[in-house]
Each structure stands twice: as structure tokens, then as C-alpha cells.
Structure 1
């Protein structure tokens, strides 16, 4: 009986291990990193109008999942610029979701400050500032993604240069970058290769790449390739020199960030300290701060201080922001 019990426990343990292993393999096959990369690649290749008469392979992004909201947003002038800005950030977010998040932050902060019995003007101003938080988040995500692309670009250019020296075509070199490197640069080069395979000229595909990744050294790469395809020359050597130039620029930019770190921290402290202090005093002793909201002289003081703080913030930003 004891042996049967031991064998039963061992068999139960093995069954549980196999069950967990099967669940993990099932999850990895549908939700794992490899499955996500395959799904993203298929999405880039198939998120296209599927009608035979549609000759464009560019992604058609929706402003909203709801047709009514989609039609409403399409009436707004220059809404495509906002959608392009979201696409450059790499976030899975539509224009409608961004606007809804902004309105939600505004309503939450305005209601909270109104409950705390702050003046309507102050609550509205703080609500507007909170409404800009989603836009600030998208801006930070875009900046982070473009910075990552800039850091990957020298390695991509070296890979293209070595592939050209080895006798591969330029389109094959672009495909190698999409396969060998990591995102986010790999996805952009994969999209360039897919566009060329679907019949878009290489010049137009590179221009699309430069438009999707603005404000980076990718523009130098695109301009160099376009000029070389028109005038000729050693493209492999040219790309190698551009890679060296980009590396030196990034190294210099890193040194400048180290040297200006203390100044940036001081600017953040000086900019946030008055706001935090006012909120803290208003919570601890509301009667002490009520004079600023009720007295006409206090309202004038708040206006002057706000203008001076905004001017000081822009001035400190201009001092510590060094372009390379």
C-alpha cells in the first residue's frame, strides 16, 4: 500500500509538471516574444486594404474604433499630424484614446480641487495642466524611441556597409538590418524592405523612413543613399563614415548631458518647489493661503508670480539645453 501511495504521488507530481509545461508552451506560442514579433510582422505586411484595386501598401491607421468618432475626428483640420505624432512614439494608442485620456485627467483634477474648495480659476488651470499629462507621456515616449533609433543607427550603417562590401545588394542589406538588429530600428527597416518588395521605389521607401523618424541622423543616411543612387560613388565607404560621425556625435552628446546634469536637477527643483509648497500649505493651513484667493492684491501677486515662473522655466531650459 505504501509503495502504491508513493507511486501515486510521483505520478501526480509528473502530471502537474507536464501540465504546467504545457500551459507555458501554449502561452509562449500565442503570447510570447517570438509570437509577438511574428504577429507584428504580419500586421505590418497585411494591415493594408485587402481589395485588389488598392495599390498602396501604406498602413491605414484609424483615429478611433468607433465609426461616429472616426468621422468626427476626420473633420478636425490637421488631425493627421497628431496621428503621425502618435505613430512616431511607437505607442499602441489612437487619437481618440489620447483625447479621452486628456479629458479624463482634466475632469479628475478639476473635480478634486473643486471639492477642496479652491477657486474655479485655479482648479481650471491645474486641470488644463493635468490634461497635458497624456501628451507629455506621448512626447516622452517619442523622444525615447527616437533616441533608441539614433543609438542603433551606427550599428545598422556598419552592417549595411559590410553587406555591400560582401557583394549583397542594397535591398538585401536593408533586410539584414531588419533581421539582425532589435526594435525599434529593425521594424523601420523591415517596413522599408516590405515596401520595396511590394513595388514602391527605393527612393520613396527611404523618404517614408525619413518622415517616420524625423529629427534624427536617419535623414543623413537617406540623403546619402539618394545622392549616391543619382551620382554614383562608394556607398559602403560613405555609410562607414556616417556611422563614425554619428557615434562621435552621440559620445559628445553624452558628455554634455553628464556636465549639465546638476544644472538640470537644479532647474527641476526650482521650478517645482513653489508649486509643491503652495499645495502643502493649502492642505496644512487653508486659512493662511486663503488670502491669496480672496484678496484682490493676492490675485495680482499670483498672476505676476505665475508669469515670472513661466519666464524663469523657459530661461533655465534655454540655458541647460545644448544642441549638438
Structure 2
């Protein structure tokens, strides 16, 4: 017993050390993010005195509105038809799961409806967000190649961006078309690019905006900067694919391990209905059910925390 306790204590210390290390790396990453934001604000001559005077409630409201706007853009996908389609699919999936539960399984209907509704929308939103990110990476790499080639041939940046927007039919081309039109109308470049960054809050697009604003404010060789940015994006995509391939087994193992208890609970309905009823409706059996749900949620949160950058 003492050996088992000592082994458990060592494992707990190792897990705690790992969590502390990840927290430290997260703080460093957040510090770098704040520094980048401050640099961008200094580049576009924005004073953050209004932000310091703003109340905590208004800041939280702004963050929530920004998050909701980002979720809406992911579901909207450029047209109201796609919005209705993206909302109808998870709603139909949740309704199907609830119906199947009522016909064959027998879990509490309110629980299943709530979990299925939220879960389907969250899963579908994650899929749409990942697809949008992947599509942006492909389109943005192509856009950098086109714009860099046009600048090398003597075109200005606005002309190169306008040429790309007219020759392509995708979401990024539409965004560049809006940027070109607003800049040609004389709107401040800082405001235009910052609003565009809200539509595509990605790291490489941030660096692209910084390079453009630096070129507007102080001049420089934009073609070389865009070429370096394009190479860094290509290497980053290759590194991301390598990381995903190296961690695919670990991520799949975590998903299978998390699904096994619920699969066996469903099988219990058909193998031993009396034990299934005991777990769901008896006060002593509900302790096992609550333990199952609590341990699963805790394990998922730990795995999500440890693998949040993968």
C-alpha cells in the first residue's frame, strides 16, 4: 500500500509540474501577444487612453460582442443561404439524437436534448472554424504570391490587391475587394486594416497588416517583406502538418478513451436493462452516473488544457 501511495504521489507531482510548465509557457505567449498588440497600436498611432478609462463592464461587453461576431461570421460563410444551412444541420442532428434516445435508449429527455443541442452546435462550429482557417491559409498563400508578383512587375500595392480580388472568387478576394474600395475612397488605412483583421484574426494576417502599415508610415521594400512572410507561412504550414501527424495517435486515443464509458453505458441498456435502470433512476445508481459524467468532464478539460496548442 505504501508503494502504491508513493507512486501515486510521484505521478501527481509530475502532473502538477507539467501543468505549471504549461502555465508558464502560456503566460510568456500572452506577454508576447500583448507586446505585439502594443507595437501595432504604436504603428497605427492609436492611443489606448480610451481603453484605460473604459470600465470593466464595457470591456467584457466588447469581448463578448467580438466573440459573437466571430461565431456569426463562421456560420454566415458569405451568404444567408449558407447561414441557414449551417444552422439547420446541427439542429437536425440534435433532433435526431434526441429522437433515437427516446425510441431506443431511454436517457432523460431534457438532459439528452440539452447536451445534444449544445454539443452538436459546438462540434459543427469547430469543424466550420477549422475549415475556414484551412481555406484562409490556402487563399492567403496564393494571394501573397499574386500580389508579390504584381509588385515585382511595377504595380502598386493597391493595384496588386485589386488585381487579385478581380481574378479570384473566394472570401479573401471579397475582403481584398472591400479593402481596395475603402482605401481608394480615402478612408484611413489604420481603421480599414484593423476592421479587416477582425474578420480574419490570424497570426499571418496580422503580420501582413503590420508589414503594410510599416510600408505606409515609413516606407521600405514591401516585396522582400511579403516574400519572407510567404516563406514563413509555408514553413509554418509544413510544421503544423508534421505536428498533427506526430500527435494523431495520441489525440485519437484520448477520444476513444473518453467515448468508451458512454458506449458501455448504452450497451448496458440492451445487455442488462435492470442495471441500466438502476444507474439512471435509483439514488444509489445516480452516484455512479454523476461520477461517470464528472470524471469524463474533468478528464476532457485536462486533455484539452494539455493539448490546446495542437
| TM-score normalised per structure 2 | 0.68
Matched, 1:118 2:96: no
Matched, 1:322 2:309: yes
Please give the root-mean-square deviation of Cα atoms over the aligned residues, in Å: 3.0
Deviations 1:161-204 (A, max 9, x none): 22222221111111122234452322222232233345433333
Alignment of 1:281-292 (within 5 A): 281-292=268-279
Deviations 1:141-179 (A, max 9, x none): 122112221233233223222222222111111112223
8 Å contact 2:279–2:289 — kept in the other structure? yes
Matched residue count: 245
Q: Which residue in the other structure is 1:167 paired with?
A: 154
Q: Which residue in the other structure is 2:231 paired with?
A: 244
8 Å contact 2:215–2:222 — kept in the other structure? yes
8 Å contact 2:78–2:171 — kept in the other structure? no
Q: Which residue in the other structure is 1:87 paired with?
A: 73
CA distance, structure 1, for counterparts of residue 92 and residue 289 of structure 2: 27
Q: Greater relative contact order (Cα 8 A, min sep 6): structure 1 or 2?
A: 2
CA distance, structure 2, for counterparts of residue 200 and residue 160 of structure 1: 21
CA distance, structure 2, for counterparts of residue 180 and residue 119 of structure 1: 54
Of 256-265 and 212-221, more deviation after overlay is shown by: 212-221
Alignment of 1:269-284 (within 5 A): 269-284=256-271
Cα deviation for residue 108 of structure 1 reads: 5.4
Q: 1:293 aligns with which of 280, 285, 291?
A: 280
* Unmatched tracts of structure 1, length 5 or more: 1-76
SS in 2 for 1:219: helix
SS in 2 for 1:310: helix
8 Å contact 2:146–2:164 — kept in the other structure? yes
Matched, 1:130 2:116: yes
Q: Which residue in the other structure is 2:299 paired with?
A: 312
* Unmatched tracts of structure 2, length 5 or more: 1-62
SS in 1 for 2:173: helix
Higher helix share: 2
Cα deviation for residue 302 of structure 1 reads: 1.1
Change (3 A) 1:284 1:312: same
Of 232-241 and 125-134, more deviation after overlay is shown by: 125-134
CA distance, structure 2, for counterparts of residue 257 and residue 117 of structure 1: 36
| Structure showing greater Rg | 1
Cα deviation for residue 256 of structure 1 reads: 0.2
Cα deviation for residue 229 of structure 1 reads: 1.0
Cα deviation for residue 101 of structure 1 reads: 6.8
| TM-score normalised per structure 1 | 0.65
